[in-house]
Amino acid sequence: MNITKEQIDDLNAVVKVAITKDDYQDKVDTILKDYKKQANIPGFRKGQVPMGLIKKQYGKAVLVDEVNKLLQDNLNKYLTEEKLDVLGNPLPKQQDNFDWDQEELAFEFELGLAPSFEVPLKTKKAITQYKIVADKKMIDEQVERIQKQYGKLVSKDVVSKKDEVSGSVTNEEEEINTTAMLEVDQLKSKKAVDALVGKKVGDEVTLKTKGLFKEDHTLASVLGIDKQRAEKLDIEVTFKITEINEREAAELNQELFDKLFGPDKVKSEKELKERIKEDSEKQFEQQADQKLLNDVTEYFIENTKFELPTGFLTKWIQMTGEEPLTEEQATEEYEKSEKGLRYQLIEGKIIRDYDLQVQFDELKEFSKGFIRQQMAQFGQLDPKEEELDSIAARVLGNQEEVKRLSEQLMSQKLLNLYKEKANLKVKEVTYENFVKEVYG
């Protein structure tokens, strides 16, 4: 067997493979002999079928199969030994009226080669790294929410602006008939507030759904309908009051602190606010990190210039999809995937240049971190190491989970590298301002 490469240009090449009978004949003969031993053909005893008949019936199929195996094995070996960084897979060039009876079989494969480029991590333009802080307003609001959540309900006779009002909500035309609880201070509509304040159990009020709540998503949950329907809804509903309650705020005392964080972990209102600030900013950090990772990724895609073997990749998409595509369809698919392919190449280059690897021990500790977070959500704040090891072993026994966690850990390694090497400017903002800047 002889394999040679013809370089077309920097991004395209053709590999030529010449195969002679010496490369495959012994293997073909061995397989045909096994067929002869097992063949059941009418008119012949088992094992006594003439070899000529076996070759006539099975010879071409066995030859094609063995040659294809040889091609695949040796082509992959050649690409590895020659250290050719290919995109997609080699594409066989079409050969019409191919003669399998030739003494020497010649095949050609088109290659799309990965481009050569550099990725300077010290970006020319400074990229914003957000540091989100929990300000006094946010912390005070969170304390109020906690006091309200853990407070007790006191029955009332007349609705005031601070009450929770329960009742039935109906609209025959839209087939709405449900029960709901409204927090008066969460109503955006002044007309709705005025309609409710002063009412008693048994009274009915008419409420317009459009612009009823401060938070638009509240309407869907109150009416028991899906979000899409709620967004378009502009009707009047009848609300009949069945219960009026005022939620008396819980005292900021040790009993509440222990309920929230465990015995003696927080001992004063000051410590409570410090803990809220710390926990909030830890959650904000994840959002800020994701924003930074996205921004650095976009910067590299936009500013790392290199050519791709577009023609080859379009043909590869056209020929290797689950269903055959036209050239126009393949071009459209390539255009959709080009940005992702560019970042895969950029990310792979960075990983190689900085020797970023995911070791099993790192992956195990990383998975245990996720497990701790999940257990904490269910009140298990101090799990034993043996329990974590046991759960992590089960998680890492699932290959899909290993793949998912490995990708997340590699993203974390890339993020840490960007924080160390990239040109970043830190911008301190409140969460409210972060949302405005990032999401408009």
Instruction: Tell me, yes or no, if the pTM score tops 0.85.
Output: no
Question: Which pairing describes strands 152-155 and 236-248: parallel, antiparallel, or unpaired?
Answer: antiparallel
Q: Could you name the CATH architecture of 2-113?
A: 2-Layer Sandwich (3.30)
Structure confidence by residue, pLDDT tens digits, 228-250: 899 889 999 999 999 999 989 99
pLDDT, residue 45, reads 80
> Cα 292 to chain center, whole Å?
17
Which of these, 341, 351, 345, 319, lies nearest to 415 by C-alpha position?
351
H helices of 50-152, in order, are: 51-54, 60-81, 136-149
Residue 411, pLDDT above cutoff 70: yes
Could you tell me where in the chain the CATH 3.30.70.1050 domains are found? 2-113
State the chain's mean pLDDT as an integer. 92
Taking phi first (over 0 means left), then psi (-120 to 50 degrees means alpha), and beta for anything else, what does residue 235 get? beta
Of the CA atoms within 13 Å of residue 223, those in its CB half-sphere come to 30
Bridge partner list, 428: 131
Tokens encoding 232: 């378009």
Residue 204, pLDDT above cutoff 90: yes
Of the CA atoms within 13 Å of residue 123, those in its CB half-sphere come to 22
Residue 379 confidence class, pLDDT cut points 50, 70, 90: low
Burial letters 322-335, b for 16+ CB under 10 A, else e: eeebeeeebeebbe
Calculate helix-pair angle for 269-303, 254-261, nearest 10 degrees: 30
- Cα separations (Å) of 293 from 245, 411, 419, 429? 47, 8, 10, 18
- Cα separations (Å) of 271 from 12, 266, 274, 283? 65, 6, 5, 18
Residue 204 CA to residue 424 CA, distance in Å, equals: 58
Which of these, 372, 421, 337, lies nearest to 87 by C-alpha position?
337
Which of these, 272, 302, 168, 152, lies nearest to 224 by C-alpha position?
168
Contact (Cβ atoms closer than 8 angstroms) between residue 81 and residue 313: no
Residues 6+ apart with CB under 8 A from 72: none
Structure confidence by residue, pLDDT tens digits, 2-22: 999 999 999 999 999 999 999
Could you tell me where in the chain the CATH 3.10.50 domains are found? 152-248
**CATH T-level fold of 152-248:** Chitinase A; domain 3 (3.10.50)
> Cα 284 to chain center, whole Å?
19
Residue 78 has φ and ψ, to the nearest 5°, of -65, -45
In DSSP notation, 339-387 reads HHHHHHHHHHHHHHHTT----HHHHHHHHHHHHHHHHHHTT--S--HHH
Structure confidence by residue, pLDDT tens digits, 74-123: 999 999 999 999 999 999 998 888 899 888 999 999 999 999 999 999 98
Find where tokens 């003969």 sit.
29
